[in-house]
Amino acid sequence: MSDIREVPIHDAAIRLGQLLKLAGVVQDGVMARSVIENGEVTVDDQVVTRRGVQVRPGSVVSYGDERLRVTAG
């Protein structure tokens, strides 16, 4: 698994699907929805199947070989 890459956000939280797009690990919202609903994404080591889940600074999101730590921007 790769190193954790930090992804800064400007609000107190961001929706999971938006985070995946912001980080560039999915091409668009359709792909984000698909990988989340298929159980391919974890937040803090828990599988999440709802793309609207709010992710906050400090959370670690994993998808495939990508590990993202949400930070306050």
Pair type for strands 4-9 and 14-15: unpaired
Range of the domain at 23: 4-72
Number of domains in the chain: 1
Among the listed residues 27, 6, 3, the one whose alpha carbon sits nearest the alpha carbon of residue 73:
6
Looking at residue 2, its pLDDT comes to 62
Looking at residue 25, its pLDDT comes to 97
What CATH number is associated with residue 50? 3.10.290.10
Among the listed residues 46, 36, 34, 40, the one whose alpha carbon sits nearest the alpha carbon of residue 15:
36
pLDDT, tens digit only, all 73 positions of the chain: 569 999 999 999 999 999 999 999 999 999 999 999 999 999 999 999 998 999 999 999 999 999 999 999 8
Among the listed residues 58, 43, 63, 64, the one whose alpha carbon sits nearest the alpha carbon of residue 7:
58
